[in-house]
Amino acid sequence: MQKNIILAGVGGQGILSIAAVIDQAALKEGLEIRQAEVHGMSQRGGAVQSHLRIADHAIYADLIALGTADLILSVEPLEALRYLPWLAPGGRVVTSLDPFVNMPGYPPMEEIVAELGRTDRPVLVHAADIARESGSARASNMVMLGAGAPFTGIAPEKLEAGIEALFASKGRETIDINIRAFRKGLQLSNT
């Protein structure tokens, strides 16, 4: 088993929390992990991405080679498009449809959706709405983790355990909101 996942978004949108949940679940499964992330200047409202690789055998490189990503999981629709050169034939794009506009020239949503539509069965998610239904708009990254879960190679229960662990210090209510958000996202991809 080997999965190459690109997590994409804008600095501060919580892609590192998504990575942390997958990392912990993979570690518990005894898998090998490499997860490269961006710190420093570009974090301030810039495009951020994380290359996440999990396998049941040795992994050498921290970066994913072009055309070999099984999944692009993005919390922002334009950011999902930025990493298309990495997508493997048959790889899937799972993205939120909530635009984060902090620069001039942000393209119209229809054009973004049209580009996303050229990929193989994209999963497009109104993450913020679903997160609010779950109890907090801040949980939209967990909605996206749920929507991407079937393509990660890790069982949803294991990811839920990872969410429990990540939010353990924040109290039961926060854990429940995030688990609900995760399950609603998961439902979208499973139907």
Residues at the contact surface with other proteins, assessed by CB under 8 A: 10-11, 19, 23-24, 27, 32-47, 51, 60-63, 65-68, 78-79, 81-82, 84-87, 102-107, 111-112, 115, 169-171
Identify which of residues 47 and 161 has a Cβ nearer to other proteins in the complex: 47
Q: How far is the CB of 45 from other proteins (least distance, A)?
A: 4
Q: How far is the CB of 172 from other proteins (least distance, A)?
A: 12
Q: How far is the CB of 187 from other proteins (least distance, A)?
A: 29
Identify which of residues 5 and 186 has a Cβ nearer to other proteins in the complex: 5
Identify which of residues 16 and 147 has a Cβ nearer to other proteins in the complex: 16
Q: How far is the CB of 108 from other proteins (least distance, A)?
A: 8
For residue 9, count CB atoms less than 10 angstroms from its CB and return exposed for 0-12, middle for 13-18, buried for 19 or more. Answer: buried
Long-range contacts at 91-94 (CB < 8 A, ≥ 24 apart):
91/120, 92/119, 92/120, 92/121, 92/122, 92/123, 92/151, 93/119, 93/120, 93/122, 93/123, 94/122, 94/123, 94/125, 94/144, 94/147, 94/148, 94/151, 94/189
